[in-house]
Amino acid sequence: MTSTALLAGLRAGVRGREESVVREWAGIVEWAAGNVVLGSEGAATIRDGFVDTGLPIAGEGAPLVSEFALMELVAVLGRSPDGGRVYVGRVLECAWRLPQVYASVVAGRLAPWRAERIAEATRPLCPDAAAFVDRQLFNATGVGWAQLERLIAEAVIRFDPEQYEAERAAASDHRYVEVGAPDANGLVSIDGLLDAADGR
């Protein structure tokens, strides 16, 4: 088999795999619509390691789904409980809070794994901030991770200034300056983390 034919076969395999994932996503979305719970009691949550944090598996505005039903779904998907919970949460994040991103996945313009990375970044955002990110990603095929981080930061500044201020204050708490002991030549090393204005 020539290299060209081999690559063509591999490319077809990748397309087939991604089409299979898109069908799986559609099934998960349909499943979620049939397993919505109205309150937080009995709703599925995100786990941080082995500690249940009590956070819904997708961002605000996505449906709360039954914890028990989710465990059945995760078993069918062949995933671990924690990994499956996160995976299903990312699919719901895309379908309900990032409709442009989800449409790009369904149309084959965006690889599902890229959409999952975007969903992971937007889950903590308020609905308006997530919608802003989604609008900017109407053609998400070429989005880079640095670009996505800048977009998330802009969304937080625009739509959740209280969160932005809290994050800025938390980052400020990590400022420090360390001055080492003088060496044999009378020189000292300095290491630190400063505000940009102070560091210039």
> How many distinct structural domains can be found in the chain?
1
Taking the alpha carbons of 10, 16, 21, 22 in that order, is the dihedral positive or negative?
A: positive
Q: What pLDDT is recorded for position 46?
A: 80
Least confident range of 70-79, 99-108, 120-129, 140-149: 140-149
Q: Which comes out higher in pLDDT, residue 154 or 183? A: 154
Neighbours of 68 (CB within 10 A): 11
User: What's the CA gap between 88 and 30, in Å, rounded?
Assistant: 12
Kindly state whether residue 24 falls inside one of the protein's structural domains.
Answer: yes
User: What's the CA gap between 176 and 194, in Å, rounded?
Assistant: 7
Kindly state whether residue 167 falls inside one of the protein's structural domains.
Answer: no
What lies within 8 Å, CB to CB, of 153 at 6+ separation is none
- Tokens representing residue 26 in the block: 């559609």
Q: Which domain holds residue 28?
A: 3-115
Residue 35, pLDDT above cutoff 80: yes
Band of pLDDT at residue 33, cut at 50, 70 and 90: very high
Q: Which residues pair with 128 in a beta bridge?
A: none
Kindly state whether residue 83 falls inside one of the protein's structural domains.
Answer: yes
Q: What pLDDT is recorded for position 179?
A: 81
Q: What pLDDT is recorded for position 148?
A: 86
Residue 196, pLDDT above cutoff 70: no
Task: Kindly state the percentage of the chain with pLDDT values over 90.
Answer: 52
State pLDDT tens for residues 182-191. Answer: 888 878 888 8
Among 136, 135, 125, which residue's Cα sits nearest to residue 159? 125
Kindly state whether residue 152 falls inside one of the protein's structural domains.
Answer: no
Mean pLDDT of the chain: 86
Band of pLDDT at residue 178, cut at 50, 70 and 90: confident
User: What's the CA gap between 129 and 135, in Å, rounded?
Assistant: 10
Q: Which residues pair with 138 in a beta bridge?
A: none
Please give the average per-residue pLDDT across 111-131, as a whole number: 93
Kindly state whether residue 22 falls inside one of the protein's structural domains.
Answer: yes
Q: What pLDDT is recorded for position 151?
A: 87
Q: Whole-model pTM?
A: 0.77
Q: What pLDDT is recorded for position 88?
A: 96
Kindly state whether residue 105 falls inside one of the protein's structural domains.
Answer: yes
Cβ density class 166-183: b for 16+ within 10 Å, e for less: eeeeeeeeeeeeeeeeee
Q: What pLDDT is recorded for position 48?
A: 61
Band of pLDDT at residue 59, cut at 50, 70 and 90: very high
Kindly state whether residue 158 falls inside one of the protein's structural domains.
Answer: no
User: What's the CA gap between 155 and 32, in Å, rounded?
Assistant: 27
Kindly state whether residue 90 falls inside one of the protein's structural domains.
Answer: yes
What lies within 8 Å, CB to CB, of 53 at 6+ separation is 45, 46, 47
